[in-house]
């Protein structure tokens, strides 16, 4: 068995794990990142890319903001359509200049990989059977399998950034871990097409046939979603069927202006609200999807992972700089405050815009009244805008 020594062992080579490794490296703190998949596999995953200002600032702090600045797009607002009419949320006007940045999660991950390579960061791909050990002690370690051998990483702390289906969370005893969950009986059928978007800004649609979302990745790349059954088979949605269903849910002006084309990528994503408490156990810390999942309606998934990394990186830096453990001790409490606010917002957006199987005539009228009130009240629109651009870090 080979043994490696580092200060922080990171499980998961997605954007959260790579961002943490990069931020720590810049402060002279060593880390080893273990990723179960190959880099090509990780970079082939298509994910959303609406970044809060705090996330953009954190990426700049990590030294990976140059391409983001060149290629991203800034959104000052977005539209919500219902009853055949479009209404705009002027985020910048309502919040005194607040915006979001559109830049794909895949591109964030690519930038972070390149930064770790440039600094000779240790990212071990295709690490099988990664397992945390002794997390309740002062001497935790990780084991993994690669090239028919077993390897060990001794470290001071372990950080689980390995997603909802990862191994990190299972290292916390069941008697300690509290789980809060809401599984929605619907999914999003998402497609990517090499076509110009119908609008520079996102368009959310509440329709009796179900929710729809029109978004963009670039001036020539569009991302569209329609609500579907959670067990829907994407192969049963040929291109023509998808475009017809999307147009049926859009306001007339949007449907008339949409440019269709071959679908590049097609998949169904289930909707879930999920939180575990605590996000720390001994020398093990959870971050991102390992600790919480939000429905994609509010665009909070990657941004919540980034805020976790902000709090955790600060705690680790203060620990190694001056022996201050307060940030690590308070990590779970502080991170969860922001997590639950984002969970509330994402739940509210999901309830507001989707037609859920349990919704009857009363529920649909409540949705309509809520939307009418939203666009009659500057205070209500401001609250929506503040949450969408991202609440400030503590």
Q: Which residues are catalytic?
A: 75, 204, 296, 300, 388
SS (H, E, C) the chain: CEEEECCEEEECCCHHHHHHHHHHHHCCCCEEEECCCCHHHHHHCCCCCEECHHHHHHHHHCCCCHHHHHHCEEECEEEEEECCEEEEEEHHHHHCCCCEEECCHHHHHHHHHHHHHHCCCEEECCCEEEEEECCCCCCCEEEEEECCEEEEEECCEEEECCCCCCCHHHHCCCCCCEEEEEEEEEEEEEEEECCCCCCCCCEEECCCCCCEEEEEEECCEEEEEEEEECCCCHHHCCHHHHHHHHHHHCCHHHHHHCCCCCEEEEEEEEEEEEEEECCEECCEEECHHHCEECCHHHCCHHHHHHHHHHHHHHHHHHHHHHCCCHHHHCHHHHHHHHHHHHHHHHHHHHHHHCCCCCCCHHHHHHHHHHHHHHCCCHHHHHHHHHHHHCCCCC
């Amino acid at each position: 068995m080979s043994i490696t020594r580092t200060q922080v062992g990171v499980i998961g080579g997605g954007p959260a794990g790579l961002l943490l490794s990069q931020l720590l490296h810049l402060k002279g703190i060593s880390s080893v990142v273990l990723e179960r998949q190959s880099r090509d596999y990780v970079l082939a995953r298509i994910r959303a890319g609406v970044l809060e200002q705090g996330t953009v600032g954190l990426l700049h702090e990590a030294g990976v903001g140059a391409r983001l600045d060149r290629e991203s797009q800034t959104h000052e607002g977005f539209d919500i359509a219902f009853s055949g009419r479009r209404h705009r949320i002027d985020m910048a006007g309502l919040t005194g200049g607040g915006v979001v940045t559109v830049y794909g999660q895949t591109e964030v991950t690519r930038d972070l990989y390149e930064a770790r390579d440039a600094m000779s960061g240790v990212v071990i791909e295709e690490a099988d059977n990664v397992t945390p050990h002794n997390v309740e002690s002062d001497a935790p370690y990780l084991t993994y399998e690669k090239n028919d051998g077993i390897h060990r990483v001794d470290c001071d702390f372990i950080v689980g950034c390995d997603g909802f289906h990862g191994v990190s969370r299972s290292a916390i005893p069941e008697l300690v871990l509290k789980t809060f969950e809401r599984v929605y009986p619907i999914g999003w059928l998402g497609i990517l097409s090499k076509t110009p978007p119908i609008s520079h800004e996102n368009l959310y649609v509440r329709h009796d046939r179900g929710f729809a979302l029109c978004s963009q990745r670039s001036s020539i790349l569009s991302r569209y979603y329609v609500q579907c059954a959670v067990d829907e088979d994407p192969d049963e949605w040929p291109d023509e069927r998808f475009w017809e269903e999307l147009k049926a849910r859009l306001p007339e002006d949007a449907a008339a202006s949409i440019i269709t084309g071959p679908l590049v990528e097609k998949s169904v994503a289930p909707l879930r609200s999920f939180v575990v408490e605590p996000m720390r156990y001994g020398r093990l810390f959870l971050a991102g999807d390992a600790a919480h999942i939000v429905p994609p309606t509010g665009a909070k998934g990657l941004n919540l992972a980034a805020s976790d990394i902000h709090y955790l990186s600060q705690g680790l830096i203060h620990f190694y700089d001056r022996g201050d453990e307060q940030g690590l001790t308070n990590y779970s409490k502080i991170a969860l405050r922001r997590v639950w606010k984002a969970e509330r917002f994402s739940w509210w957006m999901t309830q507001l815009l989707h037609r859920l199987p349990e919704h009857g005539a009363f529920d649909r009228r409540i949705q309509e009244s809520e939307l009418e009130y939203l666009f009659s009240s500057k205070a209500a629109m401001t609250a929506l805008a503040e949450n969408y651009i991202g609440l400030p870090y503590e």
